[in-house]
Structure 1
């Protein structure tokens, strides 16, 4: 699928936290294996994924989903769902641990 074949998807800019707010959705990355990307996106949306971006060249979909939705999405054929993890680095002047 080329970008011109792909339905318009909202695009995001800037980094966001992967941790959910109180009761809020969590950022996820979904790798699509051996199936048509557009079909997988449709199935993921039906499972409840709020799609932010479709990276068709590398077969990855990013978006937001509640915890129960992540569980449903993991049952979609041919995909691997990875919730985004928060990483916090110490300040530059912190002692080495």
Structure 2
């Protein structure tokens, strides 16, 4: 989604963000629900992430995805000009007057 709203987003930023959000979210769900998933004795490894339960921790993963994607895309080379133009065309398509 950031690729549509940010012309500067590149594949390195997108991949780094996706992996960061996914790994964080899976890790937190695994540790919060460790008793039912892995059968840990004595309850879950952690109860919550700063008060956020397993059902809501994906929002934190999404925010991490956005932050990491933005930072990595700014630290690496920008996408080719034709890709940036394609993104601009997706955001504001030209209207063809001849279509009826």
TM-score by length of 1: 0.25
Please say which structure displays the higher CA radius of gyration.
2
Compare the two structures and name the one with the higher strand fraction: 1
Kindly indicate whether structure 1 or structure 2 has the higher relative contact order, using CA contacts under 8 Å at least 6 residues apart. Answer: 2
